[in-house]
Every structure is written in C-alpha cells, then in structure tokens.
Amino acid sequence: MKKIKIISVVGARPNFMKVAPLEREFAKLPHIFEHLICHTGQHYDYEMSQSFFDDLGLSKPSFYLGAGSGSHGEQTGKILIEFEKVCQTAKPDLVIVVGDVNSTIAATLVAVKMGIKTAHIEAGLRSFDRTMPEEINRIATDSICDYFFVTEESGVKNLLREGRSPEKIFFVGNTMIDSLIGILPKIDKSKILENLNISPKTFALMTLHRPSNVDSKKQLSKIVEIIRFIAEKITIVFPIHPRTKKNLEKLSLLSELEEIPNLIQTEPLGYIDFIKLMKNSRFVITDSGGIQEETTFLQIPCLTLRTTTERPITTEIGTNRLVPPVKEKIIEAIIETLNQPNVESAIPPLWDGKTAERIVNIIANVIFKNRINK
C-alpha cells in the first residue's frame, strides 16, 4: 500500500507547538503515513523558531521556504510562490495548516487551488474583530479548506453558522495543550528563575506584540507608563518580541523602558524557559492568543489586553480576563489581580493531552478510510 503523504505547514511559534504532538502520533503509524514538515520561515529569529524545534523535539523540516519579514502581502506572496513549488515536487495527499498566521492562509490557498485536501487545526475560532489580520486569515482559511479540527465548542458553532458541513467538523481538543502537558516534566530542568534571580510567585510575566498595542507611539507610550506602574507593585519579566523591540527603538521609547526599576527585560525565550516562567508567575499580561490557553490550563491568572478574544472558553471557564487596552482599565485590573490572585477556573473539555491522537485517528479512519482499506 502506498503511504499517505502529509505536509504540515508551520511558520510561527504557536504553530510548532501545535504540530509537534501530531508528528509523534504520525510516527507511530509509519506503515500508513509519511509526514513531512514545511517551515515557511515566517519567524526568522532563532529564539522565535529554532529553539522551539529543539525544545519540542520536532524533526528538522523537510522544506524551508525562508519567507522572512515584510508586509503581509510580501510575506504571504513569498510563501505562495515557494509552497507551490513544494507541492509540485512532493505531491502530498493532505496539507495540514494550523492557527491563523500568514503561513496558514498562504499554504491553504496553494493546496486548495492544486486540488490537494487541506485540514485546518484550530479551525472555527473567531474574535469578530476584522481589524485583526489573524481574523481575516482564520475566516479565509476556513472558507476554502476541506476539514476542520476544532479546539472548543465555539469553533463548531461558528463553522456551522458559516455553512461548513457538519461531517467535516471534528471537535478534538487542543494540540497546544498536548505539547504543554508533554513539556511539564522537562521544565524542572530550566534554570531561568535562577538566571534572572527571581523566586516563584514574586513576579508578573508580560508579552506584547500585536500591532494594536505596539505599532503606534501613543499606545506604546501608554504601555510603557503601565509597565512603570506595575513595576512599583511587583517585578515584571518582559521577554521582548522582535516587533515590539523594533518599534520601541524606532519610536525612541526603549531607553525610557530600560530606566524602569524592577523590570527584567529578556530576549525572546525558548519554550521550556517561557513555560517555567508562566507556571511560576503571579499573573500574566499578554495580547497573545495561545498564552490565553496555556495560562488557562496552568490555572494562572491572565490579563489579555484586548477587547475581544477568539478563544472565549478561556474567559468563560478559564483564568483569562479581557482588559481593554486603556491605561485606567489595565491598572484597575492589575490591582484587583494582585489583591485576589486566585480565580475560580476549570480546564476546557478535551484539553487532556490526547488531541493529536484523536486527529491522526480521524485522518486514518475517516478522511482516508477507503484508501487505507484497499
């Protein structure tokens, strides 16, 4: 029997964590699957990319597209051109895309136009905020791909409302949580707390990278003021995203940030070190999507500086709280969190570490059932 050839496309930090558990599950069925990884190079910084491959035990990619930085159009265009060449050469039976980055929609467009079956992991998530580039990527990807693997019930409802076929939608859980569960035994080896000279539960962890928070001088100046306020109450550990650092430098705010006492700036961190910090923090401040999920699973209070979330389960039963990116609202939320750090929460359904196993079973026994049985 000819093996089913699958290409999983990754381009940014969250993608790696979502694909690593799949790779391990495909490897258990070598007589059925040939699984290849295509790295688009959307994250080109080592700590944003290669170190995550190392931490997660991901194989070296079979294809590297070298997309690099650039505008949305430039980045998407480069991936379109190069991934088409990959598909022409490799002739996959299925392309798996994950998340909501430019790599996701670009690879989906190529595969669908070439008549290749396409599956979207983390399908159906919606913030209903079309000013977010990621929302456009999510909507566009789900409008053309073939199969939908969903992390939470809201995704199923959104896809059905948008007219997707129920038999193509699979509520399977969250592969990012698979990776998180798998990495927990390893984080004890991390020396990041010692290296930064901090103790558990004595600091807040912050990450910011979205254009709405870091691209304008007005908003970024407010963020610096907020950091100054927080640092008066508790130590802040701030791994600075390349985009954020670039804008701080360009807008002449980096030196102002560096003068704040009680603030520990770091370069982007590897996955193990970052999760070690998250697990040991008093609370997390972020504008990331995936961190809302990780903090919910670890039951760490999370303040998300956004007015919407595509992951509503994290606010409904998890530890996540949406905070409008307004100075007064953020300060109010920080004070409340410091005064009452423990929040009642639960872990969402099927976030149990077995999502990748469910996905691979569906691919083998539902999507390619007839072919395997021949």
Instruction: For 1-15, write each residue's pLDDT tens digit.
Output: 789 999 999 988 889
Instruction: Out of 64-68, 151-155, 331-335, give the one with best mean pLDDT.
Output: 151-155
- 128 in the Ramachandran plot: left (φ > 0), alpha (ψ -120 to 50) or beta? left
Question: Which residue reads 């595509």 in tokens?
Answer: 310
3.40.50.2000, 3.30.830.10, 3.20.20.10, 3.30.450.20: CATH of 4-174+351-373: 3.40.50.2000
Say whether pLDDT at 90 is over 70: yes
Instruction: For 175-200, write each residue's pLDDT tens digit.
Output: 999 999 999 999 989 999 999 999 99
In angstroms, the Cα distances linking 156 to 140, 171, 263, 342 are 16, 7, 41, 30
Domain 188-339 -> CATH class: alpha beta
When pLDDT is averaged across residues 132-155 and rounded to a whole number, the result is 97
- The pLDDT value given to residue 46: 47
Q: What is the dihedral of CA 152, 317, 312, 240, to 10 degrees?
A: -100
Cα three-residue angle 295-297-301, rounded to 5 degrees: 35
**What is the C-alpha to C-alpha distance for residues 304 and 318, in angstroms, rounded to an integer?**
12
Q: Give me the catalytic one of 35, 39, 43, 209.
A: 209
- In the chain, the amino acid numbered 253 is L
**What is the C-alpha to C-alpha distance for residues 248 and 103, in angstroms, rounded to an integer?**
26
Query: Is 4-174+351-373's fold the same as 188-339's?
Result: yes
- In the chain, the amino acid numbered 136 is I
Q: How confident is the model at residue 343 (pLDDT cuts 50, 70, 90)?
A: confident
209 is catalytic: yes
- Three-state secondary structure of the chain: CCCEEEEEEECCHHHHHHHHHHHHHHHCCCCCEEEEEEECCCCCCHHHCHHHHHHHCCCCCCEECCCCCCCHHHHHHHHHHHHHHHHHHHCCCEEEEECCCHHHHHHHHHHHHCCCEEEEECCCCCCCCCCCHHHHHHHHHHHHCCEEEECCHHHHHHHHHCCCCHHHEEECCCHHHHHHHHHHHHHCCCCHHHHHCCCCCCEEEEECCCHHHHCCHHHHHHHHHHHHHHHHHCEEEEECCHHHHHHHHHCCCHHHHHCCCCEEEECCCCHHHHHHHHHHCCEEEECCCHHHHHHHHHCCCEEECCCCCCCCHHHHCCCEEECCCCHHHHHHHHHHHHHCCCCCCCCCCCCCCCHHHHHHHHHHHHHCHHHHHC
Q: How confident is the model at residue 372 (pLDDT cuts 50, 70, 90)?
A: low
**What is the C-alpha to C-alpha distance for residues 47 and 63, in angstroms, rounded to an integer?**
19
Question: Which residue reads 């500086």 in tokens?
Answer: 305
- The pLDDT value given to residue 234: 95
Question: Which residue reads 């100046």 in tokens?
Answer: 221
Say whether pLDDT at 97 is over 80: yes
Question: Is the full-model pTM beyond 0.75?
Answer: yes
Higher pLDDT, 374 or 219: 219
- Domain regions of the chain by residue span: 4-174+351-373, 188-339
**What is the C-alpha to C-alpha distance for residues 170 and 149, in angstroms, rounded to an integer?**
5
Q: How confident is the model at residue 162 (pLDDT cuts 50, 70, 90)?
A: very high
**What is the C-alpha to C-alpha distance for residues 35 and 29, in angstroms, rounded to an integer?**
10
**What is the C-alpha to C-alpha distance for residues 219 and 209, in angstroms, rounded to an integer?**
12
